[in-house]
Amino acid sequence: MIPYVNSPQNNTKVYIGIVKQLRSMIEHDGLKPGDRLPSERELSERLGVGRSSVREALRALELLGLIETRRGEGTFMRDFRGHQLVQLLSTFILQDKKSIRDVKETKFLIELDCLWLIIQKAEEDQLLRFKKWALEADYTDDDFFLKIVTLADNHLFLRIWIILKDYYNSLDLERMMVTKEQYAELIETLISRNESEVIRVYRNLRNLSKG
């Protein structure tokens, strides 16, 4: 297929090239979670690189949680959702105050963005179904806002939010209590498409002062 990992005078490391090749290979062949990747030896041959380089690439992807390897069987695509690395990173990253503040700030603002998007785009019946669920079901704050972010119908925000959520949870901050009434109130403001009210209710729910 693609014989070269790197162009002739490319300085980038081989294993980086392999990661890229793998990515396009995954895309090209439409590999889905559970599917098997070519063996290390086959990749090594097909890409014209040493097996050790292939392994460096695979190990990196494995640590990221993107693939899974089973001795004697092979390497498989994995259903990844960012979990792996968040846990890993949190053990490494210095938990300096600014980082934590950035994570909180970003998560909150993206949630607010999603609320805004919902006001703009969501269908009436979607919101009504959401409301019904919120009143009846049992859920955590993450559950609730996952639905919010999903309703916002923006894949990018969804991905980013999930990562932030995981990281946020790993910080082990004090949880604020949110009552079912508050959630319901938020949904009401969404249904009424009242921008400023949404902001007010959300800030209140998150215990954020005006500023």
Partner DNA sequence: AAAAATAAACTGGTCAGACCACTGAGAGAA
Partner DNA sequence: TTCTCTCAGTGGTCTGACCAGTTTATTTTT
Point out which residues bind a copy of itself (CB under 8 A). 15, 19, 23, 26-27, 52, 55-57, 59-64, 66, 80-83, 85-86, 88-89, 91-99, 102-103, 105-106, 109-110, 112-113, 116-117, 120, 154-157, 159-160, 163-164, 167, 211
Q: What letter would DSSP give residue 103?
A: H
Pick from a copy of itself, DNA, none: which does 122 bind, CB < 5 to 8 A by kind? none
Q: Which is nearer to a copy of itself, 28 or 180 (CB)?
A: 28
Q: Is 126 exposed, middle or buried (0-12, 13-18, 19+ CB in 10 A)?
A: middle
Q: Which is nearer to DNA, 3 or 211 (CB)?
A: 3
Q: Which is nearer to a copy of itself, 20 or 46 (CB)?
A: 20
Contact 201, 178 (CB under 8 A): no
Q: Which is nearer to a copy of itself, 114 or 186 (CB)?
A: 114
Pick from a copy of itself, DNA, none: which does 140 bind, CB < 5 to 8 A by kind? none
What residues form DSSP beta bridges with 27?
A: none
Per the listing, tokens 């086959």 go with 42
Sorted by sequence, the CB contacts under 8 Å of residue 144 that are 6+ apart come out as 134, 183
Supply angle C-alpha 157, 163, 164, rounded to 5: 85
